[in-house]
Structure formats: structure tokens, C-alpha cells
Amino acid sequence: MRRRREGPQDRDGFVQENPYTRTPRQELYLEIARVERTLRDAVDDLRARLRNDVDDAECVPRIARCLTLSTQLLGAVDLLGPGEDEDATRAAARGLADLAYRLAQRR
């Protein structure tokens, strides 16, 4: 993650964040973002395959991947503390996981 701030900067005016100085909370948010992006991509791929052919054999491993990522995402957001932003993150994650489960049931 790159942030604009005071101090030594690269040629674009940004300072590269040191991954070794991240807090556990920052690591949790980065993990949630990474899993959410991966799940969105997997759901989009599965949705396209199901739209073309519900009986496509390639759907089975993609369904398993979506369900695994959904479980991983829900487990990560359960570690968030209280707060409005955290509640919104949990709601978005649950919505995405629910979409993955519904797509899995279509097959």
C-alpha cells in the first residue's frame, strides 16, 4: 500500500509502506481485501460458466473454490471489532458469501 505523506519520497511523491511494520489489524484488513477480491473474481468466473453451461464439469472445482473462499472471508471478518465500518465490511462479506452459496446451489 502506498501513501502520500511527509518525509523521504520516491519520484511520484509516494512513500512505500514497510510490510514489516504493519500492525495485526492492518494485516487483517489486507487479508480481508485480498480474499474478497479473489472471491469476487471466482464468483464472476463461476457465474459466467454457469450462464454458458450448468453441466460444465469445470464448475465443480470452481464451486469448491468459491465455498472455501467464502468460509475464509467470513472467518476473517468475524475477527473484526465493533464499529459501523466493521459492520458494513461484515455485511458486504456476508452478501458476497451468500451469492457464492446461491451460485453453488444452481448446479
Cα(85)–Cα(63) distance, integer angstroms? 29
Query: What phi and psi, each to the nearest 5 degrees, are found at residue 9?
Result: -130, 155
pLDDT at site 77: 96
Please, what are the domains in the chain? Answer: 23-106 (1.20.58)
Here the cell at position 84 is: 459501523
Residue-level pLDDT at 10:
56
Percent over 70 (pLDDT), the chain: 81
How much is the pTM?
A: 0.77
Distances (CA, A) of 18 to 1, 26, 32: 9, 12, 19
Q: 78 versus 53: which is more confidently predicted?
A: 78
In 3D, which of 6, 1, 36 has the Cα closest to residue 21?
1
Q: Percent of the chain, pLDDT > 90?
A: 59
pLDDT band of 73, cuts 50, 70, 90: very high
Q: How far is Cα 9 from Cα 7, in angstroms, rounded to an integer?
A: 6
Residue 9 banded pLDDT, cuts 50, 70, 90:
low
Is the pLDDT at 107 greater than 90? The verdict is: no
Give the residue-averaged pLDDT of 44-71. 91
Q: Return d(Cα 16, Cα 2) in angstroms, integer.
A: 5
Beta strands in 15-107 (DSSP E): 15-16
